[in-house]
Amino acid sequence: MEKEKNIELKNISKTFNIGFKKNDGALAKLVAFVSGRESKKKLEVLKDISFHAYPGQIIGVIGRNGSGKSTLLRIIAGIYEPDGGELKTSGSVNYLSSFNHGLSPKLTMEENIYLMGAMMGLSQNDVKSKFNEIVEFAGLKDFVYTKVYQFSSGMAVRLAFSATIHCLNYSKPDILLLDEVFGAGGDIDFEEKAIQKMAEFIKGGSTVILASHNLKTVENYCNTAFYLNNGGIAKTGLPREVIDEYRKSM
């Protein structure tokens, strides 16, 4: 009997309209028409993407900037709606991106940790039991009562990553989508800690899709991979083979 898939994509496509903003007025559009400038262009980011994943599988997604990696993960997470194709997921899904901190700038670090925990379904007692570990991992014990808008971007990322990954150990999502989370803290020491912490988690049985420019991480932790090029899957297979093909294309 075939093993049950918990992610399945069939011919997924996504196109973005670029050009005028929604609130651009009639005058701006009239000027563009008179001047002959095209007011709207279509950017096809993903074209007929099809793949599936099984529980416990770790899939690496690589490709140049703008190849559609983040768009693909956001579609699986339900953040974006595809323009065409079919998407099926089963179980809980968690999307983690280094570019989407999920923090409230006007709250303190302490308040943000409890807020993030609550948003991920943890009780206050659950967060309290992990609070010191979250702070220590982020390396921010001197800033517990500081409002996050006073943090540097690197500090904010370290806080968001630490709070999220420790909370995930409670929620244990069936599907974990990692969008360029490695190296997010901006320093080598934190990157090493982040990789080690994620390595512990991704071996816990969740289906993991990791989009990353860090080819070494993809090779070390993924059991299959594919790379995106011109909106489609150019190569799929073992990570080493996919990485070699990707490097040739560059």
User: pLDDT per position in the chain (250 positions), as tens?
Assistant: 567 899 999 999 999 987 655 555 555 555 555 555 555 678 899 999 999 999 989 999 999 999 999 999 999 999 999 999 999 999 999 888 865 567 899 999 999 999 999 988 889 999 999 999 999 999 999 999 999 999 988 888 889 888 988 888 777 889 989 888 765 555 667 777 777 787 777 677 789 999 998 898 899 889 999 999 999 999 999 999 999 999 998 8
Task: Return the closest-CA partner of residue 117 out of 162, 74, 167.
Answer: 167
The hierarchical CATH code for the domain 7-32+40-249 is: 3.40.50.300
The pTM of the full predicted model, rounded to 2 decimals, is 0.80
Residues contacting 144, CB < 8 A, separation 6+: 108, 109, 110, 135
Paired sense of beta strands 224-229 and 58-62, if any = parallel
Q: Which pLDDT score is estimated for 28? A: 57
Torsions phi, psi for 239 (to 5 deg): -50, -45
Q: Which pLDDT score is estimated for 183? A: 55
Residues contacting 130, CB < 8 A, separation 6+: 117, 166, 167, 169, 170
